[in-house]
Structure 1
């Protein structure tokens, strides 16, 4: 049976959780250190997902360094020096609230997804290993998986599995089928979060027909046992292979998560034939094609409250919220977060709304079988509309 998740509630919950924890911590301190991250909450999974994000940021910076053509980063002495440098950095983490709070919110959201649908989550991790050894990727990231770890534990260094992602996903599926009755129930994992910030499972799983309120009621934080941390625990979290943040990917798993927020009912839109004729030929869309009509989309958003938001968005990738990131990745970009990032960068290079829609039609709508009447497409187009101040 599929699990339906209210992604808007999940986003608000993650943000509310992060705010509450940060209100408490930063009321007396200005910076968060690495050792303090690992014992920040009673949920080790949340804490370690924050660390995972930090090392992902490190590897992004490392790739920038490697792009310099004047130095040989494959040299063994350079590799060792970089590892030592990472050791030093890991013991010198220092983050202010403005930079830390979003990391914590994302860690909470990813933790909820891992608890609810571990099969889809780990399938997504395997997909993220594209371009490198799946075994090396899982081995480098294993330390970050505190929940449902048994599903991938015996896949690492396992003889007989080819290096193809499909082979690992099949082995993962077999693990899930064998272990699903013994896996920890999601409610038990989520109780760690619920004890810190109230989590209403009825709302989280409910298909919403009325608008869910953006605010989430708070409840008192229960006393938490401090997690003991060895002095060198962060240094041990250093990753020698590329680290990538977890992605919410659905590959038609038997426990598929469907993020569902019921949008207000939309009236049918009718536009005169002559209005289409005034559009430059390269932007015209055949009425029967399953493509997005750029003129119709522009006029739709112009007639709504979004008209005052034209040109209000800079870089699209910097204006995608947690909820949107889950929705767009899963429903529009075939569970591939890298494909979504590439799409946003390509749209940023367009000079008008019309050219952006043309690019979307040519590269994504047909290829990825978008439902142009879906909530995900509508929300994606709203974001694109806000990017441009002219139709084109």
Structure 2
């Protein structure tokens, strides 16, 4: 395995590990679900480093030099010694190469990696998938907390679509009337007083979905 490729693999793993650690520093609740991926990347990084080390150790062995004068090819005794040296050195050389090859092949077959580009794509896809899952989980938890939390300003819990719904269904498309109602609600300290106020001033059908939703927001302010 070419050293340049191995170094690129190490760099890819380091980048992904760094991104995961940065995410977990800000979102520690996601550490448990994301830890298997972090552990996998660390193990992969360790294997890449081992393979690079074996490659470097193998390159330090000089299998081409001989202790004899290569120009004395006519000397039968020298030829015999050379052949004996080659026979003795070949298993060492072959063993070293096979060791690197075996570790390299088993590692990259296990990881399903053949070339740099597929590895890069796989890393980006995995990181993106994890990021999407973590963001979805965080977003869901945040949304649940907002929905369950006590409201100081009920406008903060009203999405743009619901705002248009309330203005259209409850305030006859009068946005100023809607804003006045929100300000009135935020200033009050008694939930029953607010609901009684709207029951007296508005001709709303209390069975209507928009009315129920609006009153539930008011009740949350006092939970």
Q: Which has the bigger relative contact order, CA under 8 A and spacing at least 6? A: 1
Q: Where on the TM-score scale, by shorter chain, does this alignment land: which range?
A: 0.3 to 0.5
TM-score of the aligned structures, taking structure 2 as reference length: 0.33
Radius of gyration: which is bigger? 2
More helix by share: 2
Query: What TM-score comes out, normalization by structure 1 length?
Result: 0.19
